[in-house]
Copies of this chain bind each other. A is one copy, B any other.
Amino acid sequence: MKDFNYQQLDDIIHSRIRLTIMSILVGVKSAEFTYIKDKVKATDGNLSIHLRKLESADYISMSKSFVNRKPVTTYKITNKGRKAFKLYISRLEKIING
């Protein structure tokens, strides 16, 4: 008998907004905060909370720099994050496809 053990789905990734952030970051080298915000259509505050949660898990990394004297915050997926995302997707597919 096949199991559908939902607890195998990584809860850090599974939130709708964090799954979306990870889906964006997995496809690019890095992305600025404003770029992610435009794509995700979230408020600054809400987006920040979820970026921090992904950062705490070491799934993404953040760096700050200055472009034309303006501060720019950039995010990218880590190796750990890439692995976790891949595992999440494969488990998700298993559950959905029964």
Query: Which residues of A line the B interface, CB within 8 A?
Result: 1-7, 9, 11, 14, 16-17, 19-20, 23-24, 26-27, 38-42, 89, 95-98
CB distance from A95 to the nearest CB of B (A): 5
A-B contact pairs, 14 of them (CB 8 A): A1-B38, A1-B39, A2-B39, A4-B24, A4-B41, A5-B40, A6-B17, A6-B19, A6-B20, A6-B40, A6-B42, A11-B16, A20-B95, A23-B98
**How many Å lie between the Cα of A3 and that of B19 in the bound state?**
14
CB distance from A41 to the nearest CB of B (A): 5
* A40 near B4: Cβ-Cβ < 8 Å: yes
* A98 near B27: Cβ-Cβ < 8 Å: yes
Query: Hey, which chain B residues are within 8 Å of A97, CB to CB?
Result: 23
Query: Hey, which chain B residues are within 8 Å of A20, CB to CB?
Result: 4, 6, 95
